[in-house]
Amino acid sequence: MYYKTHNLCELSKKNIGERVTLTGWVDTRRDHGGVIFIDLRDRKGITQVVFNPENNEEVHNRAHKLRSEYVIKVNGIVTGREETNINSKMKTGEVEIFVDELEVLNESKTLPFEISDEISVNENLRLKYRYLDLRRKKMYNNLFKRSKMIKEIRDYLDLNEFLDIDTPILTKSTPEGARDFLTPSRLNKGEFYALPQSPQLFKQIMMISGVERYYQIAKCFRDEDLRADRQPEFTQVDIEMSFVTDEEIMNMMEELAKKITEKIIGKKIDYDFEKITYEDAMNKYGSDKPDLRFDLKLAELTDIAKECGFKVFRTVAEKGGLVRGINGKGAAKFSRKYLDDLTKYVGVYGAKGLAWIRINEDGSYTSPITKFFSEDEIKSIVKRMNGESGDILFFVADRAKVVYDSLGALRLKLGKDLGLIDESEYKFEWVVDFPLLEYNEEEKRYKAQHHPFTAIKEEDVKLLEKSPEKVRTVSYDMVLNGNEIGGGSLRIHQAELQKEVFKLLGLTEEEAEEKFGFFLEAFKYGAPPHGGIAFGLDRFLMVLLNEKSIREVIPFPKTQKGQCLMTEAPSRIELSQLRELNLKEIKK
């Protein structure tokens, strides 16, 4: 006995007269003068089945009880539809099945929401009933493309002689990353495992092992604040190679990205990815992942500000801060309220204010700050920023991080609000040569920009002792439409240099040995030059499919509070379980 002879997308005129068995969910039910029509749905498509009392009265009477999302099995004869009833929008729209046998495999309660792509449903409700949400055609297609994307990646890497090797999920907590998820050990009282933020150390040790080419579709975990493009657990395409240059890695990964894009969304990428240094990306776009689908760039005004009459600008410039601007081409059409809202918007990124000059149609200026500038100073600013009638020139003066963060975000907002972004375009680029260090304002110390295992550019090694903040690394991020979808680097493969970097990051020899002793020990046994990259599979797919949230491409995602509304995780556990782990609850 078979549950079905065909999927619900397969039947056509060539099957007319055949007896078939079909199974699926009741999508819609229509009662037309005693004849019941049901659209039966499976993951492949929809077929219309007909219950006619003249064909089998008992089956017809039972069909009256069918409701949406009942799971049923039917037997019947494939019949051609009349010309006027052909549905050209369905693959099976030329035929219907006249049913003479019906079996209800399972009933369904009244649904909390309709299974349809056309209606808007609260996201929390969708996540609570995720199994229903995934029945929607759009969500199924996203899962299908996710599966296909993983297969294309595996096929490509297998063709290039990479080995698929899994690494531990329960591992050692190490510093210098995001916050770890920790798991207490029952057998080793008072000690903890950490869930891996990435397989970084293991894949480097894999290179020391002589594997030479490794990859893994890895589950990774980071206990960090969540955004639309982040999840506490995510899937990473992890890749590492020995005896390679950064150019070789980028060329291979560029080829992989092009293949994925064409296979998943049918878009052929026929250009070489532009390479932008981190320094240029920040200076021109205020971001280390610039969206290059439009051309608004930041303008350097610090030199003009040092000599100008506007005290706010001059003071910042004299104290070593930056004064930068961006030309909102055509933004003069926006209201004063819009400008006030922009001021609040950049305030989220730390900007204390947003100065602006509106260039009117007659060439005159409207602005709260022009009275503080001489006519020549205004002309210099307008010329530097290529200002024209109808533009608004925006300015931020502050320390570098605030200027870059606020103007980088403002650039993206203006790009959207001014209609400068072609949403159908896919613009890849590489951002390279990241600094080794970035200063953490909260901890008042340097931290690794990428991670502490990133190789240093040969010409910058001499700067490690006296000017570590100027040291650049052999690193590369792949960016798509303003989203970092992958990041990698060549790695340090000499133990002494690795120790020196740990020291720069504030680790004593004892701390480095405690946290990374096993890693440093491995370096003593012939570590080859190596490097690699990791792609965020979820984010890459999100951008390819033009989804606004990463939750749209993950089967069972968490909310922004890190909760699974379907299973109600995280949840409290039994006191006996805590005792087994030598833990206790502290009541406040």
Grade residue 438 by pLDDT with cuts at 50, 70 and 90.
confident
The reported pLDDT for the residue numbered 175 is: 65
d(CA 434, CA 277): 7
Taking the C-alpha atoms of residue 493 and residue 453, their distance in angstroms, rounded to an integer, is 8
Mean pLDDT of the chain: 94
**Beta sheet of 365-366, edge-to-edge order:** 298-300, 322-328, 392-398, 355-359, 365-366
Find all residues with CB under 8 Å of 455, minimum gap 6, and list them. 473, 474, 489, 490, 491, 492, 493, 531
- Encode pLDDT of 338-349 as tens digits: 999 999 999 999
Buried b (16+ CB within 10 A) or exposed e, 332-356: bebeeeebeebeeebeebebeebbb
Banded pLDDT at 584 (limits 50, 70, 90)? confident
Distance CA 80, CA 477 (A): 56
Q: For residue 177, what pLDDT is reported?
A: 67
The whole-number pLDDT of residue 588 equals 74
Per-residue pLDDT reduced to its tens digit, 536-563: 999 999 999 999 999 999 999 999 899 9
Mean pLDDT of 101-106: 97
pLDDT reported for residue 488: 97
Domains and CATH numbers, the chain: 13-106 (2.40.50.140), 139-276+428-435+474-491+527-575 (3.30.930.10), 294-417 (3.30.1360.30)
Percent of the chain at pLDDT > 90 equals: 85
* Torsion angle of C-alpha atoms 198, 238, 431, 147, degrees rounded to 10: -110
- Helix, coil or strand: residue 16: coil
Q: What percent of the chain has pLDDT over 70?
A: 99
Is a pLDDT exceeding 90 seen at residue 441?
Answer: no
The pTM of this model reads 0.93
Which residues, in sequence order, are CB contacts of 247 under 8 Å at separation 6+? Answer: none
Residue 448: predicted pLDDT: 87
Given a cut of 80, is residue 439 above it in pLDDT? no
Please state the φ and ψ torsions of residue 392, each to the nearest 5 degrees. -120, 125
- 165-212 tens-digit pLDDT: 999 999 999 865 678 999 999 999 989 999 999 999 999 999 999 999
**What does the pLDDT average to over 566-580?**
92
561, amino acid identity? K
What is the tens place of the pLDDT at every residue in 211-268?
Answer: 999 999 999 999 988 777 789 999 999 999 999 999 999 999 999 999 999 999 999 9
Q: Residue 261 has what pLDDT?
A: 98
Question: Which residue reads 């770890």 in tokens?
Answer: 180
* Residue 443 confidence (pLDDT): 72
Confidence of residue 34 (pLDDT cuts 50, 70, 90): confident
Question: Which pLDDT score is estimated for 20?
Answer: 97
Per-residue pLDDT tens for 260-293? 999 999 999 999 999 999 999 999 999 999 999 9
**Is the pLDDT assigned to residue 585 strictly greater than 90?**
no
Q: What is the mean pLDDT of residues 119-139?
A: 96
| pLDDT at res. 176 | 59
